[in-house]
Amino acid sequence: MTPFKLKELYDEFQSLPTQNERILFFDNPDNTARMSEFNINIPNLKKHHIEVWDNAFPHSTWDSLK
């Protein structure tokens, strides 16, 4: 476990251009294996990014956009 590997993981995550890609990052087994090396709370981070996604949109139904 080296700080360089953690920085590389962080930079890769930060380079993702959309919130959706960031959420999906947590579903990739390779990424979760790399994160588990650093004792990262993966479910908590994924939940946080889903909340960011949800907060970006008004709390209305898609039908109201017609």
- What is the mean pLDDT of each successive set of 10 residues along the chain, which is 66 residues long? 85 94 94 91 93 79 62
Number of domains in the chain: 1
**Helices 3-14 and 29-36, packing angle to 10 deg:** 140
- Residue 45: inside a domain, yes or no? yes
Query: Would you state the pLDDT for residue 33?
Result: 93
pLDDT at 65: 59
Name, in order, each residue with C-beta under 8 angstroms of 42's C-beta and a sequence gap of 6 or more: 26, 32, 35, 36
Q: Is residue 62 part of a domain?
A: no
In this structure, the number of other CB atoms found within 10 A of the CB of residue 3 comes to 8
Please choose, from the candidates 31, 23, 16, the residue with its C-alpha nearest in 3D space to the C-alpha of residue 56.
23
pTM: 0.74
Within a domain: 61: no
| Structural domain harbouring 40 | 18-56
